[in-house]
Amino acid sequence: MADNIKFIKGEGIRLYTPENEEYIDAVSGTFNISLGYSHPELVEALKKQVEDLIHVSSSFTGELAQEVLDSILDEAPEHITDGWMRDIIGSTANEGAVKIANKFNGKSEVLSVSLSHHGQTLFTTNISGNAFRRKSFSNTISTNNAVIPAPYCYRCPFSAKGPDCGYLCAEAIHDYAQYGSSGGVSCMIIEPILGNGGNIIPPDGYFKKVREICDELDITLIADEVQTGIGRTGHMFASEYYDIKPDIITLAKGLGGIGIPAAAILYKKEYAVLEKFEHSYTSGGNLLSLTASQKTMEVVSRAGFLENVRASGKILGDFLNKLKEDYGHVIGDVRGIGYMWGLEIVDKDGAPDVDLANRIIDVALSDHKMILRGSRYGFGNVVKVRPALTATQDDIEEIYFRLNKIFSQL
Ligand SMILES: Cc1ncc(COP(=O)(O)O)c(C=O)c1O
């Protein structure tokens, strides 16, 4: 159905068809339109860059790339002091992070968690925790990497109950390293909030445990902040907010502000091990990406910007919890922070209801002109609500108003 709709204009969280019909995008594209459609400051900076110079080989963009990197590092967790600006998308940034870990510690195996999504190249499909994306591609199945249980408390894979659950999902790292691996686990990659998997927020204490185990086993910890980074949670980095202390952080999506592809890998200084010839792409760190990233950092770092995401995000969370009170028979759980929320859709027995989640998304588009997205590319039962970080309180109210109508209709 979405394939029949064509948009020719956008502003803030709103999109317009050639007939000037207005839609609300409650998920900011695929969570990459962090500053809303056509943010005027980005458009202006990009227009100027297009007029001046669109592309020049990355051999000649080093100075600008370093400036942009510095502006990101200024906001990064304190121990993260260096980085790499030669990527263009999240998938390659994650591949770069794994290369860095492999080269740094001389080991090769990668650990990730079930329901994770780290990209769609052969390798990142391989290390993501979703079999449905691998089904047709035998090259994405490797015995060199492993998926361990996700920290998904609402449906705990061990049926344990917090807060004294013993973090069995984190302890699984020990099990795998000792019994499942070749003895050479190089790194663990994890999203601070499992975005595609269903807006899954690990419990308090989980990341502390993971960090301890990684230290004990000499495993590099990579935080995939492709979705959570650059303000999505109301904090510049989710790693900082959740005190994850990763060795490496990857960024993409929101870094480009208005949908311009941009990516970065950030790390502790001892992880600066890559040679340029080992990881760079023709369009990696191109002038338009760098311009968009620079302006995005300027806007998101401004006084009051993230405070507003936190305050309005709280209001959004309150609205979604109110929906759960009113429609608790189909909304099993509401999870989120900042402008990153998910509604877990359940059937009468509390089991995941994927069909209903997809119906909610379809009805939102067809009857209420609102774009929502589902978890696991339509194979999951979580409906995601993640407006642009520039969404106002009026926008949030409008999203709630339409959601309310959708649930009452269904
Ligand atoms: C957490 C996470 N990591 C990595 C990626 C891959 O990024 P890209 O699609 O830019 O390659 C995605 C994309 O959805 C993602 O959500």
Question: How many distinct structural domains can be found in the chain?
Answer: 2
Q: What is the pLDDT of residue 103?
A: 98
Rounded Cα distance between 326 and 404, Å, is: 9
Residue 280 C-alpha to ligand 1 middle, in angstroms? 18
Confidence tier at 1 by pLDDT (50, 70, 90):
low
Say whether both 141 and 173 belong to one domain.
Answer: yes
Counting residues of the chain whose pLDDT is more than 70, the rounded percentage is 100
Name residues whose C-beta falls within 8 Å of residue 25's C-beta, 6 or more positions apart in sequence: 10, 13, 14, 15, 33, 37, 370, 371, 387, 388
CATH label of the domain that carries residue 308: 3.90.1150.10
Between the CA of 291 and the centroid of ligand 1 the distance, in Å, is: 21
- Alpha carbon distance 119, 126 (integer Å): 9
Domain end, chosen from 244, 269, 300, is at 300
Residues 282 and 382 occupy one common structural domain:
no
Q: Tell me the CA–centroid distance for residue 384 and ligand 1, in Å.
A: 15
Query: Residue 373: its pLDDT value, please?
Result: 97
Q: Residue whose CA is closest, atom 8 of ligand 1? A: 90
- The 3-class SS string of 316-348 reads HHHHHHHHHHHCCCCEEEEEEECCEEEEEEECC
| Residue among 30, 89, 117, 122 to mutate when testing ligand 1 (max atoms within 8 A of CB) | 117
- CA 278 vs. chain centroid, Å, equals 25
| Mean pLDDT, all residues of the chain | 96
Q: List pLDDT tens digits, range 57-71.
A: 999 999 999 999 999
Ligand 1 centroid to Cα of residue 173, in Å, is 23
Atom of ligand 1 nearest to the CA of 225: 1
What gap in Å lies between CA 324 and CA 79, rounded to an integer? Answer: 40
50 occurs within a structural domain: yes
Choose among 175, 108, 174: nearest CA to 145: 108
Note whether residue 345 is domain-resident.
yes
Last residue of a domain, one of 300, 334, 349: 300
Q: Do 228 and 376 lie in a common domain?
A: no
Higher pLDDT, 314 or 182: 314
- pLDDT of 161 reads 86
Residue 164, domain member (yes or no): yes
The size of the chain, in residues, is 410
**Is residue 94 in some structural domain?**
yes
Name residues contacting ligand 1 (CB within 6 A).
Answer: 89-91, 94, 117-119, 191, 195-196, 224, 226-227, 252
Shortest-distance atom of ligand 1 to CA 253: 10
| Range(s) of the domain holding residue 337 | 2-31+304-409
CB atoms within 10 A of CB 16: 15
Pocket test for ligand 1, best of 133, 227, 293, 384 (most atoms within 8 A of CB): 227
In a domain, 361, yes or no: yes
Any idea which residue has 């995401």 for tokens?
A: 309
Q: Are residues 14 and 153 in the same domain?
A: no
pLDDT tens sequence across 267-313? 999 999 999 999 999 999 899 999 999 999 999 999 999 999 999 99
The position carrying tokens 């339109």 is 33
Residue 72 covered by a domain: yes
Q: What is the pLDDT of residues 372-384, one digit of tens each?
A: 999 999 899 999 9
Q: State the pLDDT at residue 105.
A: 98
Please report the pLDDT score of residue 327 as a whole number: 97
157 and 275 belong to one structural domain? yes
> Is the domain of 176 the same as that of 133?
yes
Same structural domain for residues 251 and 320?
no
**pLDDT over 90 for what percent of the chain?**
92
User: Is the pLDDT score of 47 beyond 90?
Assistant: yes
Both tokens assigned to 221: 């910890």
The per-residue pLDDT for range 206-239, each reduced to its tens digit, is 999 999 999 999 999 999 999 999 999 999 999 9
Ligand 1, atom 3, lies closest to the CA of 118
Give per-residue pLDDT as tens, 120-154.
999 999 999 988 888 898 888 877 889 999 999 99
Reported in sequence order, the residue ranges of 31-139 that DSSP labels E, i.e. its strands, are 82-84, 109-113
CATH of the domain at 150: 3.40.640.10
Of 266, 300, 334, the domain-final residue: 300
- The pLDDT score that the predictor gives to residue 356 is 98
Does 177 fall in a domain? yes
Residues 51 and 179 in one domain: yes
Residue 79 lies in a domain: yes
Shared domain for 70 and 178, answered yes or no, is yes
Would you state the pLDDT for residue 202? Answer: 97
What is the atom index within ligand 1 of the atom nearest the CA of 196?
Answer: 16
Kindly state whether residues 282 and 310 are assigned to the same domain: no
* Pairing verdict, β 82-84 and 22-25: unpaired
Residues 256 and 391 in one domain: no
pLDDT of residue 3 exceeding 80, the answer is no
pLDDT of residue 164: 86
Both tokens of 144, joined, read: 């060199």
**pTM recorded for the entire structure:** 0.97
What distance in Å separates the CA atoms of residue 162 and residue 169, rounded to the nearest whole number? 12
* Strands of 185-190's sheet in order across: 82-84, 264-267, 248-251, 220-224, 185-190, 109-113, 145-148
Same structural domain, 128 and 221:
yes
User: Are 230 and 254 spatial neighbours (Cβ–Cβ below 8 Å)?
Assistant: yes
> What values do phi and psi take at 248, rounded to 5?
-135, 145
